[in-house]
Amino acid sequence: MNLPNVLSLVRVLLIPVFVIMIMDHLYGWALITFAIAGITDGIDGLIARLTHQRTELGAYLDPIADKLLLTAAFVTLAIIEMIPNWLAVIVITRDVIILLGFFILLLTNHRPKMAPTPVSKVTTGFQISTIIIVLLAGYNPIFGSLFSVAIYGTTLVTLLSGAHYIHIGARILNGKKA
């Protein structure tokens, strides 16, 4: 257990705090908690690269922590009706499809690498931005004007990313280079 992995675990431990803040309508504090989680994400990766402390545990723990945080955010925001339910379903369904595809590839003796695609990175950026905009709008209604752009932009890139991963998985299963 090294410092980058501890920071990933801290991010996981911040999830219930973040959810409670949202449920209690403490959007400013929720935003601060989300920002701290984001900062730990950046710092753990930086430390792992600079100090050559990359581990197999970290390779799995870091993206799992990220997905848990984003999933918790979308589910919680949907439950309290700050985002449409269908957006939470689309975001979570994409992640489930990616996870199922990963396991199918493992079961068929393929060794998929754990590396996000460029479209996946854009999707994560949109998803994080949407959470931030929604929390800011809950804190101060002036940010509500960005709401529709965030919701529909995130929907579009999430659907594109899901389709892209399905395409990659199908190519690998068909014996073609991804």
CATH number for the domain harbouring residue 66: 1.20.120.1760
**CB of 95 closer than 8 Å to CB of 67:** yes
For the cut 90, the answer to whether the pLDDT of residue 49 exceeds it is no
Percent over 90 (pLDDT), the chain: 59
Q: How confident is the model at residue 150 (pLDDT cuts 50, 70, 90)?
A: very high
Q: Does residue 52 register a pLDDT over 70?
A: yes
Looking at the 3D structure of the chain, how many domains does it have? 1
The answer to the question of residue 14 being in a domain is yes
Q: Which domain holds residue 164?
A: 3-173
Question: Does residue 159 lie within any of the structural domains?
Answer: yes
**Residue 130: what pLDDT?**
96
Closest CA relative to residue 134, chosen from 147, 123, 125:
147
pLDDT digits 0-9 by tens, 82-127: 999 999 999 999 999 999 998 998 898 887 776 778 999 899 999 9
pTM, 2 dp: 0.89
Q: Is residue 178 part of a domain?
A: no
As a whole number, mean pLDDT of residues 40-56 equals: 84
Position 114 in a domain: yes
Asked if residue 63 is part of any domain, the answer here is yes
Q: Is the dihedral of CA 29, 34, 40, 46 positive or negative?
A: negative
pLDDT of residue 29: 96
d(Cα 77, Cα 65) in Å, to the nearest integer?
A: 18
Return the pLDDT at 140.
86
Question: Between residues 8 and 55, which one has the greater pLDDT?
Answer: 8
